[in-house]
Amino acid sequence: MAPAGSRFPRVQVLRERHSIIGVNNHSTPSLAGRLRSKLAEELPPRRLYHVLGVEGLAVHLAGQWGASAEKAMLAALLHDAAKTLPDSEQKALMMDSPVFTAGEEDLAHAQLWHGPAATSLAVQEYGIQDREVLEAVAYHTTGNPGVGTLGLVLYVADYLEPTRSFADVSELRREVLPLPPRRAALAVARRKLRHIANRGRKAHGRTIAMEQWLRDTLSAD
Ligand SMILES: [Fe+2]
Ligand SMILES: [Fe+2]
């Protein structure tokens, strides 16, 4: 049953604009089904196929790496839920995130706002309180030093899902997907940093810190 309204005005506006289903006291399978239906209504086809591709790969990796398949499914379905909203709404939702505090560098990288923004939608519109899921969603683009296995699942699945088509994606999948989680995430982090450098851009500090953390913890094993 959808709640009558939101105590967050911005979320209420979003609900009216996008007819988002309010879901509380749900089971994961029915919530995932509702999320899929809602995404199918709202996302452009290419983005929808990406999200469903992330879902499939995330569930697979969760099985390989000992994470919860249900949480992987929810995190994948939610991770880009705010991506098609205007920047101003993404920013407002990011500032309401229960698991993310935006620093100056975050405020300067609008392309990263949709992750933290989706955590506000997850809580307020879908009743999802699970911190592991919310943190995986918040940091899915940059990663975050110390991230747990679910976060690694989403980080890798988002980059290597089947509809990704960058030049060396097939080789990267073959190389990376059989690896254990931190080694797989390190390969993805390095590929992301290389891509950012090739485009002449400056990487976000958390992307750099993620690669460093993975390298340090793996060499300490
Ligand atoms: Fe994303
Ligand atoms: Fe994504």
Q: pLDDT tier at 29 (50, 70, 90 boundaries)? A: low
- State in Å: Cα 46 to ligand 1 middle: 13
Q: What is the distance in A from the centroid of ligand 2 to the CA of 138?
A: 11
Q: How far is CA 202 from CA 69, 92, 215, in A?
A: 34, 25, 20
Å from CA of 2 to ligand 1 middle: 26
How many domains, the chain?
1
Task: Encode pLDDT of 121-152 as tens digits.
Answer: 999 988 999 999 999 999 999 999 999 999 99
Ligand nearest to the CA of 141: 1
Distance CA 220, CA 186 (A): 14
What is the DSSP annotation of 133-166? HHHHHHTTTT--TT--HHHHHHHHHHHHSTT---
142 within domain boundaries: yes
pLDDT score for 221: 83
pLDDT tens-digit map of 76-94: 999 999 999 999 999 999 9
Asked whether residue 115 is assigned to any structural domain, the reply reads: yes
Decide if 170 is inside a domain.
Answer: yes
Task: Kindly give the interhelix angle for 69-78 and 149-160, rounded to the nearest 10 degrees.
Answer: 50
pLDDT at residue 4 above 90? no
CATH code of the domain in which 167 resides: 1.10.3210.10
Would 131 be classed as within a structural domain?
A: yes
Average pLDDT estimate for 155-160: 98
Ligand at shortest distance from the CA of 114: 1
- Indicate whether 44 pLDDT > 90: yes
- What single-letter DSSP state applies at residue 178? T
Distance 82 CA to ligand 1 centre (A): 9
Residue range of the domain that includes 58: 9-220
Interacting residues of 180 by C-beta distance below 8 A, sequence separation 6+? 65
Which residues are found with C-beta within 5 Å of the ion, ligand 2?
80, 158
**Is residue 3, in this structure, part of any structural domain at all?**
no
In a domain, 139, yes or no: yes
Distance (angstroms) between ligand 1 centre and the Cα of 220 equals: 30
